[in-house]
Amino acid sequence: MGGSERTVGGLAGKIAGRLKTAAGAATGNEALEREGRLQDAQADAELEARVQRAEARQREEEAGVVEDKAATQAEAEALRNEVESRQRKEQIERDRRDAEERAAADAAQKKSEAEDRRRAEERAAAGQESQAEQEQIAAAKQSVRLEQEARRAEARADQIDGEGN
């Protein structure tokens, strides 16, 4: 076999190389034996190169997976932070609304109480005014009665004076 002959790689090349080595050794053809050993070594080198390429691809894929995992974790963390931030803002807003509602309810309660006090004071004042009016009326009636009694007493005194003269 000549040097320009293309050798087959892989498992077929390995088998062919061993056959050539064995045939060359059996026939005493050193060139065929050497060609067989070279083809066997080339097949081993090719197989090793394939293994190394596959391992390199595997490492690249694993590195890609690790990188993707890190990116995914970073994205998940960013999303968690965003969600937590939104939840904190929503809680702050709820707390603010609750505080405003409580303040409005307290103000309404105080206003209602003040209105109730004002009405009670007005009723009390109206009652006192009514009582004062009744007392005034009673005093006026008393005054009229006393005046009438005074006139009658005066008229009797005049009558008595007129009888005694």
**pLDDT (tens digit, 9 = 90+) per residue, 44-82?**
888 899 999 999 999 999 999 999 999 999 999 999 999
Of the listed ranges 8-17, 35-44, 45-54, 148-157, the one predicted with least confidence: 8-17
Task: Give the pLDDT of residue 40.
Answer: 87
Task: Give the pLDDT of residue 8.
Answer: 60
Does any domain span residue 82? yes
Number of domains in the chain: 1
Contact partners, residue 142, CB within 8 Å, separation at least 6: none
Task: Give the pLDDT of residue 4.
Answer: 43
Does any domain span residue 99? yes
Range of the domain at 119: 10-128
In percent, how much of the chain has pLDDT > 70? 93
10, 43 Cβ separation under 8 angstroms = yes
Task: Give the pLDDT of residue 94.
Answer: 98
34, 8 Cβ separation under 8 angstroms = no
Does any domain span residue 165? no
Does any domain span residue 110? yes
Does any domain span residue 38? yes
Does any domain span residue 141? no
